[in-house]
Amino acid sequence: MSGYTGKWDPASFNVPPELGKGKSQRFQVYIQSGHDRALNIIARSGIFPFEQPQDVARWCLWFGLTELDRLEPKLINSVMKRVNMMIFANREEIERQKFLEWMDTSKQAIQGHLGRGDEAEAREMVANNYKQILAMPDEPDRELRWKMKYLNQLESDWKAYIPYEDKDKVAA
């Protein structure tokens, strides 16, 4: 979700309208007006990383099917496994794109500060990135893997500007 800064990982709520090769199915259903209002409230709240009521509805459908699969695994297990694999691949691609965007934006901004002779601003930006990366979760393994990618990239590009002494302050 563009601009979302909440506490939830947007990738956990992303259920794309199509999975691979642009295939999707249109599904029309009548719902109670209270449910429609709830979908709109949730989508507009900014509390969860949804942009439209349809995003909420897709997530609810996926979540409900996942729960039904858990209750009766033999019924749709194969279908859910394939869908979940595609959703996972989509989430990883979203994370990769966010990483590349951060990398490019940070690099341009820091090099810009250095190019203008403002080393203090460059150091401050690196320090802020470092602090934010250290605050990323270590669990589950997927989160730790991305945290380490960010940290490794920051160290690769700007090791001389990283305030390692701040690591203890963040941990405290």
Mean pLDDT throughout 86-95? 85
pLDDT of residue 168: 57
What stretch of H or E contains 154? helix 141-158
Pick the residue with more confidence: 170 or 114?
Answer: 114
pLDDT of residue 172: 46
Q: What is the pLDDT of residues 29-61, one digit of tens each?
A: 899 999 999 999 999 999 998 999 999 999 999
Mean pLDDT throughout 15-20? 72
d(CA 117, CA 78): 59
pLDDT of residue 169: 54
Across the chain, mean pLDDT equals 88
Kindly state the greatest CA–CA separation across the chain. 64
Mean pLDDT throughout 93-105? 92
d(CA 87, CA 73): 19
Backbone angles phi, psi at 66, to 5 degrees: -65, -40
